[in-house]
Structure 1
Amino acid sequence: MNEHTPLFAIAVAAELSGMHPQTLRQYDRLGLVSPTRTVGKSRRYSMRDIARLREIAALGAEGLNLEGIRRILQLEDETAALRARVKELESALADELLARPGRRVFAAGAQGEVITITPGTRVRRRNQLVLWSGHQERG
């Protein structure tokens, strides 16, 4: 079990979030919170859904309308996804640098992958960004 495990029926989720069940149904229709559905089509909310409902309530209490809340949640989700991708790329870069000490020239491919380039060669594809260190190791 983790924070994304669907555990709570709508009545329990409403109580935990301090909202009316009808409000949760409305937020589901608007796409603010998307609980998992059982085989019988009833909603099941996770702890992450409860936290999101509480965040929606806090933003609403600050005076934001539902469209503003939806946009903020969307931007927060995009930011989290981008941060995860940056960590993934940093890890790939670190692995590459460890596997090939002394090689500091690399490019980012069209899909975001890290491509090591032999020092002194030029990238032929125009959709790649080449990064390099100003320090060259001489041997």
Structure 2
Amino acid sequence: MTEQARSRAPEDARPVYSISVAAELAELAVPTLRLYEEHGLVTPARTDGGTRRYSADDVERIRRVSGLVEDGVTLAAVQMVLDLQDRNRSLTDANRALRDRNAALRKDNACLRADD
């Protein structure tokens, strides 16, 4: 996980923003958010009445989508890019955890050898 993602609080997943507020936070037009939703790139929560509610995590994802689109990536390809980025982040985190665990085991092993 990136430092930014690691520092995100659980409340960042809480859906609190209306579509107009989410659009403003992401610096996009409301129809653009609807288009992203139609393409399955963002899935806001819904109230019992069906009103969209976006979380801070959703807004961050919207910014990622927007950045890719600005870089010339088609909407059809954005999902693949996001999936690859997320998978890479997950693998990087797992690798880091394994390296940390390996280092701890090596340290424990060295201590055990020193005690012999």
Q: Give per-residue Cα distances to partners, 1:15-57, cap 9 Å, x unaligned.
A: 2222232332332232212333444443322223222222322
- Rounded to whole Å, the distance in 1 between the matches of 2:81 and 2:69 is 12
Once superposed, what is the RMSD of the aligned Cα atoms? Answer: 2.6
Identity of aligned residues (%): 33
- Rounded to whole Å, the distance in 2 between the matches of 1:97 and 1:40 is 56
Higher relative contact order (CA 8 A, sep 6+): 2
| 1:96–1:37 distance in 2 versus 1, CA, 3 Å | farther
Segments of structure 2 that go 5 or more residues without pairing to the other structure are 1-7
Quote how far apart the aligned CAs of 1:102 are. Answer: 7.3
Matched position secondary structure for 1:32: coil
Normalised TM-score (structure 2): 0.69
Match of residue 70 from structure 1:
79
The counterpart of 1:83, out of the listed 80, 92, 98, is 92
The counterpart of 1:98, out of the listed 95, 107, 111, is 107
Residues matched between the structures, number: 104
Is 1:25–2:34 an aligned residue pair? yes
Matched position secondary structure for 1:101: helix
Q: Runs ≥4 in structure 1, deviation > 6 angstroms?
A: none
Is 1:60–2:69 an aligned residue pair? yes
| 1:5–1:91 distance in 2 versus 1, CA, 3 Å | farther
Normalised TM-score (structure 1): 0.60
Look at both structures and tell me which one has the larger radius of gyration over its CA atoms: 1
